[in-house]
Amino acid sequence: MSSPFRGRGGLAKRIIPCLDVKDGRTVKGVNFVDLRDAGDPVELAWNYSRQGADELVFLDITATHERRKTMVELVKSVARQINIPFTIGGGINEIADADALLNAGADKISINSAAVRNPAFIDELAKAFGVQFVVVAVDTKSIGDKNIVHLNGGRIPTEKETLDWILEAESRGAGEILLTSMNHDGTKNGFDNGLLKLVNDAVHIPVIASGGAGSVQHFVDVFEKTNVDAALAASVFHYGEILIPNLKEILRQNNIEVRTIAE
């Protein structure tokens, strides 16, 4: 069985729309606040799978903050509609949460705050389900000359430096890192290529770049400058500013390997 991280294309770069879900609707904001409605997540998921997205990520962005569990029903609905891998995160605090989501049809689960508060949780998940199912999401913000891990949708700074934490997560069994630069998130000024290159060069597991996509060129830049495995975005896809077939065509023209819809 091939790893769900690497996908069918092996070394092909992945394009991943991210759907931030609040109260059953897709929302998008700038720097994690000022949220506005972006549509029905199941409908968007179906649309993206038809457009040629390689994977999807669903984040219940209020789950940890409001102490709610991610909706298993949403996962079932999405799994019925699409045939590409998808990850779900938000409010996963124990093995039973992850088990319910994977049983409902999710391909991978993403943990963030719960992992920082209890790093051994990564070991437990990797042991229970296998590393290929465990994505560790890291929200980072630069404070002075350091990159610091933040919790609860970027509301709470921690004592952890970002690269140190990512290396620890990898050593504990994370199969993939979803790295969101909160200084860039929602700004559409481009990915944090300096940090992404630093992290990608340091780890042996796939890194997904997140935060800052505003143009097709930003995707070209992040793959050329950092060599990350995947790039994730939300609003530019949700509001039709970038169409995935066009994006993939331009990546191909820049000699960046991507999968076609037919593969």
Other CB atoms closer than 10 Å to residue 151's CB: what's the count? 19
Q: What does each C-alpha distance from 37 to 21, 41, 155, 238 come to in angstroms?
A: 9, 11, 21, 10
Structure tokens at 137: 């999401």
Sign of the alpha-carbon dihedral angle for 122, 126, 132, 133:
negative
Annotated catalytic residues are 20, 139
- 119 CB-contact burial (10 Å; exposed 0-12 / middle 13-18 / buried 19+): middle
Q: Which of 215, 184, 186 is nearest to 29 (CA)?
A: 186
Residue 170, SS3 per DSSP:
helix
Cross-strand partners of 138 = 179
Closest to 76 (Cα-Cα) out of 40, 58, 53, 103: 103
- Using DSSP, how many helices (H) and how many strands (E) does the chain show? 10, 12
